[in-house]
Amino acid sequence: MQFPGRRKKLVGSSQNDLYEHCLQFYGQPPLENISLTEFETFAVERLKLLKTVENLGVSCVKNSETYIKKLDAEISSLNFPLKAELGEQKVQGGISEYEKRRKDHISHFILRLAYCQTEDLRRWFIQQEMDLFRYRFNHLHSKHKTDFLHKNNLKYETVSAEEKKNLQDKLIASSYGLSGTKVEEHDVYKVPFQDALDLVRTRKVYLLAGNAYIPHHEIVTIVLNDFRTRLSKALAMTARSLPAVHSDERLQPLLSHLSHAYVGQDYSIQKNIGKISLEQIDALSGKSFPLCMRHLHKALRENHHLRHGGRMQYGLFLKGIGLTLEQALQFWRSEFVKGKVDADKFDKAYAYSVRHMFGKEGKRTDYTPYSCMKVILSNPPSQGDYHGCPFRHSDPELLKQKLQNYKVSPSGINQILELVKGMHYQLACQKYFELTHNVEDAGFSLNHPNQYFTESQKLLSGGRDIKKEVDTSQRSQENPASVTRPSQANSKQAQEEMGDLDSFFQDE
């Protein structure tokens, strides 16, 4: 891609072949020239779209009516392709389907540049792009789905009519939405189980001798797997060519702004190192810890032990609130020694793990404290574990009891349980914040346990007025800290240009 300063007109009709289908695998990068303005706009709008995909993903059930309605609206308003037909008449004053597809294509590749740099960024980008792709693929007509498969050379082996008949009952019992007639009439694909991991993981498919038997309407999962693999490889390659891109001064500030904007704060840079003393932790756990960490702390104090999942989740949180490595070692050792572990064994076995968390061992990765998404979605707790999100992983009855123990009002508890029932775990935690801090509105959108702690401390130390209506101007004052990174040396001119971008990233 080349980026001349001037805007260049496109040649229209011969490009039609490029965008025959409204969906694509993003295999080929765009080869045209575009203006800086378009570059910026495309990127920012796609990022908005992906952020919407992310938010809807946690606050609604995927493919529920609300989800569909909201996502459709966002896609349309941002002028991304939704419909399947090309060659529609250009709507009066609107944007043609062709141009929407072009935007889709180009914006994807621009964001690759911004999101290829770290594991976390890549993971996030792949996750949202996959969700978006899945959504758009599912909304294609069956004919267009087949079209797409053929155009992209995805040939999956179909099962013979005889085998289908033999396995009919088993197929119906394994796959959602399959009936006898459907099995007879439509294709069933046989795919090695390694290519259908999402279906295997959730046991939504029939397995026999290492093969997954996928009905036609489920083929999207397989396609997604393919999509994920390709995108993952592509991002790795893009990362390698990044230095060349970064040397272009026009692009570098925009790209880093884009990637920091999503993350907000990841709490990897500790602000209050050493400001917390170990004696304060017990009191803090009641006042300013989110429920998950309060729960972990209590379990640790009671059992003088935590398993690996719990140590990671809680240990990294403590690092995020400002504990130093020395404090952490002292904290964990003093607790474990009260249990079955003697000081020697602690030093040999567990100390290593604590130092690892602080990036002093092994690969020397300085691990970042887990965000709410990570706690909710990965590594569910099993027997003997205390980690995870209590709103997500606890039995509602037990959660209720616990909240009662913590003196939450009955009406408050009901509100929380309603939110839990609706799968709005982070909102439930926010409500817990509001109830325990005696405010009507938390004033922030919770997505990280350390954020909970910071906001709580701010509130308790009088940083904000209690029960005040938080208006938008106040909010925009709070967010810049999470959007601009002081470490970047931006030129003044670039900063002025960036001014408008901030307004794109206010949390709703």
Q: How far is the CB of 293 from other proteins (least distance, A)?
A: 15
Phi-psi group of 290: left, alpha or beta (phi > 0 → left; psi -120 to 50 → alpha; rest → beta): beta
Q: Residue 189 in contact with residue 159, Cβ under 8 Å?
A: yes
Phi-psi group of 30: left, alpha or beta (phi > 0 → left; psi -120 to 50 → alpha; rest → beta): beta
CB closer to other proteins, 3 vs 352 = 352
Residue selected from 46, 134, 260, 393 as contacting other proteins according to rule CB under 8 A: 393
Residue selected from 30, 322, 380, 412 as contacting other proteins according to rule CB under 8 A: 380
Instruction: Report 127-186 residues binding other proteins (CB under 8 A).
Output: 170, 172-174
Other Cβ atoms closer than 10 A to 148: 20
Residue selected from 14, 383, 473, 503 as contacting other proteins according to rule CB under 8 A: 383
Q: How far is the CB of 127 from other proteins (least distance, A)?
A: 13
Residue 348 as a binder of other proteins (CB under 8 A): the answer is: yes
Residue 386 as a binder of other proteins (CB under 8 A): the answer is: yes
CB closer to other proteins, 69 vs 348 = 348
The reply, when asked if residue 389 is annotated as ligand binding, is yes
Helix (H) or strand (E) segment spanning residue 214: strand 211-215
CB closer to other proteins, 257 vs 387 = 387
From the list 10-18, 26-34, 198-206, 494-502, the region that binds other proteins by CB under 8 A is 198-206
The reply, when asked if residue 116 is annotated as ligand binding, is no
Residue selected from 9, 203, 240, 492 as contacting other proteins according to rule CB under 8 A: 203
Binding mask 403-422 for other proteins (x = CB under 8 A): --------------------
CA distances from 213 to 143, 168, 179 (A): 21, 11, 14
> Strands 188-192, 206-208: parallel, antiparallel or unpaired by DSSP?
unpaired
Tokens representing 97? 């389907």
CB closer to other proteins, 161 vs 208 = 208
Residue selected from 201, 407, 467, 492 as contacting other proteins according to rule CB under 8 A: 201
Residue 398 as a binder of other proteins (CB under 8 A): the answer is: yes
Classified as helix, coil or strand, 192 is: strand
Nearby residues of 502 by Cβ (< 8 Å), 6 or more positions away: 476, 479, 480, 483, 484
Which residues lie across from 188 on neighbouring strands?
A: 215
CB closer to other proteins, 70 vs 304 = 304
Q: How far is the CB of 364 from other proteins (least distance, A)?
A: 9
CA distances from 284 to 231, 291, 383, 390, 456 (A): 43, 12, 27, 18, 10
The reply, when asked if residue 60 is annotated as ligand binding, is no
- The span from the CA of 481 to the CA of 310, in Å, is 30
Residue 208 as a binder of other proteins (CB under 8 A): the answer is: yes
Residue appearing with tokens 């972990």: 296
Which residues lie across from 64 on neighbouring strands?
A: none
Residue 198 as a binder of other proteins (CB under 8 A): the answer is: yes
Instruction: Report 288-347 residues binding other proteins (CB under 8 A).
Output: 299, 308-309, 344-345
Nearest 10 degrees: Cα torsion 123, 124, 125, 130: 90
b/e sequence 344-373, b meaning 16+ C-beta within 10 Å = eebeeebbeebebbbeeeeeeeeebbbbbb
- The runs of H, that is alpha helices, within 268-423 are 280-287, 291-303, 308-321, 325-337, 343-345, 351-357, 372-377, 390-393, 396-405, 410-421
Residue 240 as a binder of other proteins (CB under 8 A): the answer is: no
Tokens representing 44? 């920012």
Q: Residue 222 in contact with residue 196, Cβ under 8 Å?
A: yes
Residue appearing with tokens 């995805």: 154
- The span from the CA of 279 to the CA of 337, in Å, is 17
Residue 67 as a binder of other proteins (CB under 8 A): the answer is: no
Residue 395 as a binder of other proteins (CB under 8 A): the answer is: yes
Classified as helix, coil or strand, 206 is: strand
Binding mask 360-379 for other proteins (x = CB under 8 A): -------------------x
CB closer to other proteins, 3 vs 176 = 176
The reply, when asked if residue 372 is annotated as ligand binding, is yes
Residue selected from 202, 334, 414, 495 as contacting other proteins according to rule CB under 8 A: 202
Q: How far is the CB of 255 from other proteins (least distance, A)?
A: 23
Q: How far is the CB of 281 from other proteins (least distance, A)?
A: 22
Write out the residues near other proteins by the rule CB under 8 A.
170, 172-174, 193-194, 197-198, 200-203, 206-211, 299, 308-309, 344-345, 348-349, 379-388, 390, 393-395, 397-399
Residue positions in the annotated binding site for [4Fe-4S] cluster? 292, 372, 389, 429
Residue positions in the annotated binding site? 292, 372, 389, 429
